[in-house]
Amino acid sequence: MDFNDTPEEATYRAQVRSWLDKNAVRKADAKDLPLPKTLEEVLKQSKAWQAKKADAGYACITWPKEWGGGGGTTIQNVIYGQEESNYAVPGGIFAIGLGMCIPTVMAWGPEDAKKRYVGPAVRGDEIWCQLFSEPAGGSDVAGLRTRAEKDGDEWVINGQKVWTSGAHYSDFGIVLTRTDPNVPKHKGLTMFYIDMKSPGVEVRPIKQMSGGSDFNEVFFTNVRVKDSQRLGNVGDGWKVALTTLMNERLAVGGSQGNADADDLIELARETEIAGEPAIRNGAVRERIANWYVQAQGLKFTRFRTLTALSRGETPGPESSISKIVAANKMQELGSFGMDLQDMGGVIRDRSVSPAEGAYTEQWIGAAGYRIAGGTDEILRNIVAERVLGMPQDVRVDKDLPFNQAPRGK
Amino acid sequence: MNFDFSDDQKMLKEQVRKFLTDKCPYSVPRRILDSDEPYAKEVWKGLVEMGLTGTAIPEAYGGLGLGALELCVIAEELGRAAAPVPFSSSVYLASEAIKLFGTEKQKQTWLPKLAAGEIIGTFAISEGLHAPSAANIKTSFAGGKVNGVKTPVPDGDIADVAVVVVNAGGKVALAIVDLKGAGLSHEVLRTFDPTRSHAEITFKDAPAELMDGQGWEQVSRILDGAAVLFAFEQVGGAEAALEMARDYSLERYAFGRQIGSYQAIKHKLADMYVKKEIAKSNAYFGAMMLNDEGAELPEAAAASRIAGCDAYVFAAQENLQTHGGIGYTWEANTQFHYRRAKLLALTVGAAIQWKEKLVARLEAKNAA
Ligand SMILES: Cc1cc2nc3c(=O)[nH]c(=O)nc-3n(C[C@H](O)[C@H](O)[C@H](O)COP(=O)(O)OP(=O)(O)OC[C@H]3O[C@@H](n4cnc5c(N)ncnc54)[C@H](O)[C@@H]3O)c2cc1C
């Protein structure tokens, strides 16, 4: 057991580093670079960077070259990620598309769709979003009501999605629909991919508690899709969705917010508790220790998952633990960082607050992160039921035809 | 034993609740959140008209001559409504401080106006992104002038008068500054709870008067009293957040069942309730000590504060969580408590400071 690079890995790392040095700016040197101000700027910079990576074989490193990927190994992907994290590069907007949607298209889409869509997505030319959650169901996404009805060689979609991250700048999406309300809920679903510019698709941004608008409501009014845009068989939508959700487990859980134990040490040196340096306070030290251990635990849990992946194993539901830990740590650490600033912690101003306002931002953002991609409660259910094999909760609607299942607001 | 509020006090509470239910539904903090208005003037005016700003000010100075217990029941209702008004700054802090440590002349000058709600007062202690202490107050008082920067000052942009914690020749003291006078400038701050405004105030040879006496003990006494009153706000807020969570968990379905039928949600709500009750009981004792100026006020205040911070922050956070995606939107009312709970958890000092203070007291007592 070790973290040492094999000679081949070391060579790869050196290649990556020299490529990054040529094409990107180190974080330490990027402090004074202006941040992109508009969404257009973010998109432009992100797309340019993604295309550069794709040309050099550093986009979707583990995917075959024929699909525009790097044809590399899981470990190479990890090495690239480690190195890239030292540079100020745009990121994020492709995570859902490349982490969840495109893998679903690759697993279930017809051959011509894969040829058409995978390459441009890898290069960042086209962005994808995930249209699953609805007002009626997020945790219970199989309770969704958006209808798709067959009309000749086409399907007509009507309904509403909600919380769709990035829908406002996405070109395509995968959309889970109900094609048969007369059978139990999991059996009547079908997945399609859809052009977000199709007539009848309307995207309305939702303002978050943070003040930003990263997610949206998406309305479908008589939106026509071809039967060839179907992913998997009619009625197999749930099985297809599980491919997406399994990939989601790998995609999320990475972020823990921008402030960490190290930042807290710095802050605790500069602040006081009852007139003494906060860093000398036992309660502060204990928290720093706990969060450090959690961060390490998350990192090494990920390494174990990656090692399993590199051997061709499929990571199971145990990776669900990562998001529970990460999201709660993000919220509590943010909150505590604000406490150390005492009354000054009410200020929300990147130019004034320590760690460029990271404590406040992550305390706010974590409230959403504890919900996005599976709530704390749902993830605990997954651990209890699927990992520990405990009896399932009573599922009153499981075997009822969908249109007879109990429903509320 | 009669560890409860009197019928009159409960009636006062009912009156305040009725007024706020009517005049301060969530659309009011929402209006303040979405605009540049620093506070809800009409709600403030209504509270003033009910005489509430003069509740604990003696009749001789134009108040109602009631006590801390009456203020506690008012605080609980203000907390429940997450009311966007400068009541805490003006009443729990400025008025109480002047009442406790003002000279006779200062009381005569300021208390009637504060009681009548003609002016708004505040308490300026913080000097940046760290906890204030006896040793680190830099704002100076000398020759009748204050110099320095106080930030953040709650309601610092709208207040007419401030009780300012100053360093007077090496000793901590309290000074009264007329904020409409010379030598002052302020800047409104960006905070995470725009429903309560805060400012940075710069004093440049601002004329000021010292209050009676000196020493950090005075500051502590003011903070202790305010901590008890804020604890009632926290209890009220926690109760509102819990009710919101319960209502939602009864109407929202997932997997064919009310989400309130899942034990994960039931236990979460039960935990909110437990914390809220512990906070309430501590706050009651705090109220009693404050009202009687009891010897255990410092411990009772610290316990009220620690439990109040814990109960409200938890309730607000888990109320949002119970709402799922909708809870994280601007449109949802969950955010008012998420913001306010954290604001109140910082405003007279974070719980970790109070824990140190509490244990130091307990330790000293234990040794004696
Ligand atoms: C920032 C953000 C980004 C998002 N991005 C996307 C996206 O791109 N695409 C997309 O499709 N969706 C997205 N979502 C939606 C997200 O997946 C859902 O919000 C989430 O699954 C919860 O669903 P809900 O909002 O309907 O809450 P509900 O499911 O109604 O949950 C309400 C509460 O009930 C609890 N609960 C529900 N069922 C149970 C149970 N069986 N046992 C115990 N407790 C239970 C929940 O934990 C929660 O506390 C996003 C959400 C957020 C906050």
Q: The domain that contains B294 carries what CATH number?
A: 1.20.140.10
**Residue B25 counted as domain residue:** yes
Domains: count for chain A? 3
Question: Residue A197 Cα, ligand 1 centroid: separation in angstroms?
Answer: 26
- Using CA coordinates, name the residue in chain B closest to A373: B325
B324 CA distance to ligand 1 centroid (A)?
A: 5
Q: What are phi and psi of A274, to 5 degrees?
A: 45, 45
Of ligand 1's listed atoms, the one at least distance from the Cα of B325 is: 25
B361 has a pLDDT exceeding 60: yes
Cα→Cα distances B292→B57, B74, B216, B296, Å: 15, 18, 21, 10
Q: At A93, give phi and psi (nearest 5°).
A: -70, -15
Q: Is residue A145 part of a domain?
A: yes
Q: How far is CA B185 from CA A111, B128, B156, B181, B188, in A?
A: 69, 16, 10, 10, 10
**Concatenated DSSP letters of B277-300:** HHHHHHHHHHHHHHHHT-TTHHHH
Beta-sheet pairing, A128-131 with A172-178: parallel
Same domain, B192 and B244: no
Rounded Cα distance, B68 and B70, in Å: 5
Do B100 and B22 have their domain in common? yes
What's the CATH code of the domain at A207?
A: 2.40.110.10
Domain of B17 in residue numbering reads as 7-115
Structural domain of A334:
254-387
Helix (H) or strand (E) holding A29: none
Q: How far is the CA of A173 from the centre of ligand 1 (A)?
A: 19
**Cβ contact A335–B264 (<8 Å):** no
Chain A residue numbers with beta carbons less than 8 Å from the beta carbon of B193 are 346
**What residues in B contact A375, CB-CB < 8 Å?**
321, 324
Cis ω before B58 (30° cut-off from 0): no
Interchain contact, B129 vs A139, CB within 8 Å: no
- Sign of the Cα torsion B208, B212, B213, B214 reads negative
pLDDT value of residue B195: 98
Same domain, yes or no: A380 and A269: yes
**Domain assignment of residue A381, yes or no:** yes
Pair A260, A379 in one domain: yes
Do the domain assignments include residue B140?
A: yes
In this structure, is residue B38 part of a structural domain? yes
Three-class SS of residue B270?
A: helix
Of A164, A324, A364, A375, the one to substitute when testing ligand 1's pocket (max ligand atoms within 8 A of C-beta) is A375
Distance CA B300, CA B279 (A): 11
Is some CB atom of chain A closer than 8 A to the CB atom of B351? yes
Question: By alpha-carbon position, which residue is closest to atom 30 of ligand 1?
Answer: B324
Q: Give strand pairing partners of A347.
A: B191
Kindly state whether residues A262 and A370 are assigned to the same domain.
Answer: yes
Q: How far is the C-alpha of A390 from the C-alpha of A324, rounded, in Å?
A: 19
Whether B245 is in the pocket of ligand 1, judged by its Cβ within 6 Å, is: no
Residues 7-66 on B with a CB inside 8 Å of A are none
Q: Specify whether the CB–CB gap between B174 and B210 falls below 8 A.
A: yes
Choose one of B171, B199, B214: the last residue of a domain: B214
Instruction: Give B 229-258 residues with CB within 8 A of chain A.
Output: 251-258
Structural domain includes residue B291: yes
Confidence check: pLDDT of B265 > 90: yes
* A130 CB within 6 A, ligand 1: yes
| A324 class by beta-carbon count within 10 Å (0-12 exposed, 13-18 middle, 19+ buried) | buried
Contact call for A209 and B345, based on CB within 8 A: no
Q: What is the pLDDT of residues A311-365, one digit of tens each?
A: 878 777 777 788 999 999 999 999 999 999 999 999 999 999 999 899 999 999 9
Structure tokens at A316: 């199971």
Q: Tell whether A258 and A225 lie within a shared domain.
A: no
| A-B contacts at Cβ under 8 angstroms | 185
**CA nearest to B159, candidates B303, B66, B44, B272:** B44
Residues B334 and B261 in one domain: yes
The strand pair at A272-273 and B121-124 is best described as: unpaired
Q: Is residue B2 part of a domain?
A: no
At A192 the three-state DSSP class reads strand
Residue B247 amino acid letter: D
B250 and B347 part of one domain: yes
B147 vs B12: CA distance, rounded Å: 42
The reply to whether ligand 1 has any atom less than 6 angstroms from the CB of A377 is yes
Cα A133 to averaged position of ligand 1 atoms, centre (Å): 8
Q: Which two tokens stand for residue B206?
A: 């601002």
Which residues on B lie below 8 Å from A270 (Cβ)?
A: 130
Cβ of A133 less than 6 Å from ligand 1: yes
* Residue among A300, A321, A329 nearest A252 (CA): A321
User: Which residues of chain B make contact with A406, given a CB cutoff of 8 A?
Assistant: 253, 256-257
C-alpha A277: how far from chain center: 38
Distance A241 CA to ligand 1 centre (A): 15
What percent of chain B has a predicted confidence (pLDDT) above 70? Answer: 100
Q: Give the count of domains, chain B.
A: 3
**In a domain? residue A258:** yes
Question: A395 in ligand 1 pocket by Cβ < 6 Å?
Answer: no
**What DSSP string describes A123-136?**
TTSS-EEEE--BTT
Cα-atom radius of gyration of chain A, to the nearest Å?
23
B326 and B292 inside one domain: yes
B315, B276 Cβ separation under 8 angstroms: yes
pLDDT tens over chain A, length 409 residues: 888 888 999 999 999 999 999 999 998 888 777 888 899 999 999 999 999 999 999 999 999 999 999 999 988 988 998 899 899 998 789 999 999 999 999 999 999 999 999 999 999 999 999 999 999 989 999 999 999 999 999 999 999 999 999 999 999 999 999 999 999 999 999 999 999 999 999 999 999 999 999 999 999 999 999 999 999 999 999 999 998 888 776 665 556 778 999 999 999 999 999 889 999 999 999 999 999 999 999 989 888 888 887 787 877 777 778 899 999 999 999 999 999 999 999 999 999 999 989 999 999 999 999 999 899 999 999 999 989 999 998 888 888 999 888 877 5
Assigned token pair, B268: 């979460």
CATH number of the domain residue B27 falls in: 1.10.540.10
B173 pLDDT higher than 80:
yes
Q: How far is B272 from chain A (nearest CA, A)?
A: 16
Judge whether A171 and A128 are in contact, CB under 8 Å: yes
Determine, yes or no, domain membership for A299. Answer: yes
Q: How far is A132 from chain B (nearest CA, A)?
A: 13
Give domain status of residue B325, yes or no: yes
Considering only CB atoms, B253 lies closest to which of A133, A370, A406, namely A406
The length of chain B is 368
Provide φ and ψ at A61, rounded to 5°. Answer: -55, -35
- CA A384 to ligand 1 center in whole angstroms: 18
Cα distance between residue A138 and residue A144, in whole Å: 8
Q: What is the CATH number for A281?
A: 1.20.140.10
On whether both B226 and B355 belong to a single domain, the answer is yes
Same-domain status, B223 and B363: yes
pTM of structure: 0.96
Task: Name the residue at shortest CA distance from atom 20 of ligand 1.
Answer: A138
Whether B304 and B230 map to the same domain: the answer is yes
- At B334, the pLDDT band (50, 70, 90 cuts) reads very high
Residues 6+ apart with CB under 8 A from B352: A273, A281, A283, A284, A339, A340
In this complex, the residue of B190, B342, B353 whose CB is nearest that of residue A349 is B190
Residues B57 and B62: their CA atoms lie apart, in Å, by 7
Asked if A393 and B317 come within 8 Å (Cβ–Cβ), the reply is no
pLDDT at A249: 65
What letter does residue A26 receive in the DSSP assignment? B
Helices and strands counted in chain B (H then E): 12, 9
In terms of domains, do B210 and B222 share one? no
Q: Which atom of ligand 1 is nearest to the CA of A376?
A: 47
| 0.85 surpassed by complex ipTM | yes
What are the angstrom distances between the C-alpha of A14 and each of A25, A74, A277, B45? 16, 17, 42, 69
Q: Do A283 and B352 touch (CB under 8 A)?
A: yes
Residue A95 Cβ contacting ligand 1 at under 6 Å: no
DSSP single-letter state for residue B190: P
Q: Give Cα separations from B110 to A102, B61, B107 (angstroms).
A: 69, 9, 5
Residue A85 CB burial class (10 angstroms; 0-12, 13-18, ≥19): exposed
Q: What is the pLDDT of residues B24-75, one digit of tens each?
A: 999 999 999 999 999 999 999 999 999 999 999 999 999 999 999 999 999 9
Asked whether residue A107 is domain-assigned, the answer is no
CB contact under 8 A, B350 and A360: no
Burial of B12 (0-12, 13-18, 19+ CB in 10 A): buried
- Please give the distance of CA A69 from its chain centroid, rounded to a whole number: 20
Verify whether ligand 1 is closer than 6 Å to residue B215 (CB atom). no
Cβ <8 Å between B357 and A274 = yes
Same domain flag for A174 and A81:
no
A340/B355 CB distance under 8 A: no
Is the Cβ pair A208, B330 closer than 8 Å?
yes
